[in-house]
Structure 1
């Protein structure tokens, strides 16, 4: 885990993500890349210095953004974190995804407004897009925890074979983050299984894909999100990890809506890992 991307619009929720990213970077010794996207009335990169003066409002916004990015760099450097800043003009979500790939980003840390309702206004367009399309884990931070720590991470799974290779990524991520992975199966009325069956399926799955021994935890709940949050609160977890499909047709746990609902309903940071395609 060498590079963490922190997209920011300098809002309060983005500031929470910035602070959490500083904590993570210190914890694992990663480099931070602070990225800000600014919309300009024309292609700013093609303007001369004289032409920039035609758009004083945009010029002032760019100046302020550069200053705020510089302040973030100073904050990171003051605690020994390697970092850099990127200011992008008129970018799209697709270009941000290409930036992640081209710059070999290992993780994205983003903020969420955290109000349960219409997704574009809850998560923000960039966060919503990253959750569904990112090729790297996305760490979404709604509110900054009172105590910055990451020791116990709940991982919700249904032990399906198609998630096996992605589980290896989750396990490796837990090792890098130096956290205890708490494996959880939420038993719902829709996908109800008897405990013995869950344990049998879980043990078979872990024997095939896990590198370490894990305890299988089971909780009964009406909805997957409720069970994940209830268990997380019960053990005083520091975060939740879920696999996200990027489609909405993969049953139980892995539709994007489950991840988005979790972010809206819990105060804990949520890590979304996109399922690997065969």
Structure 2
């Protein structure tokens, strides 16, 4: 059985991500774990001599454990209130640990052989800022399958999934894994590349890549679309706004397409545009999601 991990901090955004994950788990037959990392309070160096009261610390920890159990019950209650066949309800569990969020999530993900991490994105902050300085950004750097859910976005079965590519050969196994994710929904996978059509070698690269896809990816609902744009960010904005897609998929490759997008000369702020889930995958990802 596939296993989905959902880090939660008890915010409305995290609760929404948990509800989304529950519906997704139902559709793909997965086990779901709500995961809370209890972090030690940050003490300013100026106040380094101060000691955090052990009683207050213990109370905070107990409150967090209770909040985790409460969230589990709320997710289950919302699930029961839907039209789902409750006999097919996904397995739901909770896990409480101490430490740093990205460290503990990565450790648990790898040790327990999870398939996917689902986290919420808070639209109160700019998307670029979220990625640069938050747990989401840290998790992307961990190079594990990560599905980011915008605040308030309800689950709906994806009908069209856009896969942004630079025609790298390492994207082929990623597409194979993505095809397995898309099959339960019979969703279309739209392979999109954005560049100026007069780019040197574009036609040959596209043909070679699509031929490899045809040979190696066992899925019939795959299409290709070129987006005419000299700037990657403009091409992505266009496909999100006009492509009628339900999910955007990108490969996080350091010094590659995704890395340049968020760390290089591009200053893309997606929060005003991307109101759909963003699935970030590591290069050559082969694990079914």
| TM-score between the two structures when normalised by the length of structure 1 | 0.80
Q: Which runs of 4+ in 1 moved over 6 A?
A: none
RMSD: 3.2
Residue 106 of structure 2 is matched in structure 1 by 97
The equivalent position to 1:201 in structure 2, one of 179, 197, 208, is 208
Residue 51 of structure 1 is matched in structure 2 by none
Partners of 1:98 and 1:146 lie apart in 2 by 29
Matches within 5 A, 1:3-152: 3-40=3-40, 55-78=54-77, 79=79, 80-91=89-100, 93-114=102-123, 115-116=125-126, 119=129, 121=130, 125-135=134-144, 137-145=145-153, 148-152=156-160
Q: 5+ residue gaps in structure 1? A: 42-53
Change (3 A) 1:75 1:92: closer
Residue by residue over 1:117-152, the C-alpha shift from the partner in whole angstroms, topping out at 9 and shown as x without a partner, is 763x557632111112133x1000122336633221
The equivalent position to 1:240 in structure 2, one of 237, 244, 248, is 248
By how many angstroms is 1:269 displaced? 0.7
Number of residue-to-residue matches in the alignment: 262
Residue 182 of structure 1 is matched in structure 2 by 190
By how many angstroms is 1:263 displaced? 5.3
**Other structure's SS at 1:205 match:** helix
Q: 5+ residue gaps in structure 2? A: 42-52, 80-88
By how many angstroms is 1:162 displaced? 3.0
CA contact (8 A) 1:131 1:138 kept: yes
Change (3 A) 1:270 1:92: closer
Partners of 1:262 and 1:164 lie apart in 2 by 28
By how many angstroms is 1:11 displaced? 1.8
Residue 85 of structure 2 is matched in structure 1 by none
CA contact (8 A) 1:241 1:271 kept: yes
CA contact (8 A) 1:157 1:183 kept: yes
Residue by residue over 1:64-116, the C-alpha shift from the partner in whole angstroms, topping out at 9 and shown as x without a partner, is 22222112222344433311111111235233211101111110000122433
